[in-house]
Amino acid sequence: MYVRFFIHLNLTFCTQCAETGVEKWIVDLSDMTCIYYDKSRTEILVECIPVP
C-alpha cells in the first residue's frame, strides 16, 4: 500500500511540474538546494533543502 501511495505522489508531483513548465530539476546535496529549470534551461526556482 505504501509503495502504491508513494508512486502516486511521485507521479502527481512530476505531472504538476510538467504542467507548469518545469522540464527538470537538480538536487545538489553539497549546497542543499533543489533547482528547477524550464525547457530553455532557465532557472525557475531555487529551493533550500532543510537540514534536520
pLDDT tens digits, 13-34: 888 999 999 999 999 999 999 9
Q: How confident is the model at residue 9 (pLDDT cuts 50, 70, 90)?
A: low
Q: What are the beta bridge partners of residue 34?
A: 27, 47
Residue 22 to residue 44: CA distance in whole angstroms: 8
pTM of the full predicted structure? 0.74
Question: If you ran DSSP here, which 8-state letter would residue 5 be given?
Answer: H
Residue type, 2: Y
| Buried b / exposed e along 26-49 (16+ C-beta atoms within 10 A) | eeeeeeeeeebbeeeeeeeeeeee
Task: List the grid coordinates of 36.
Answer: 528547477
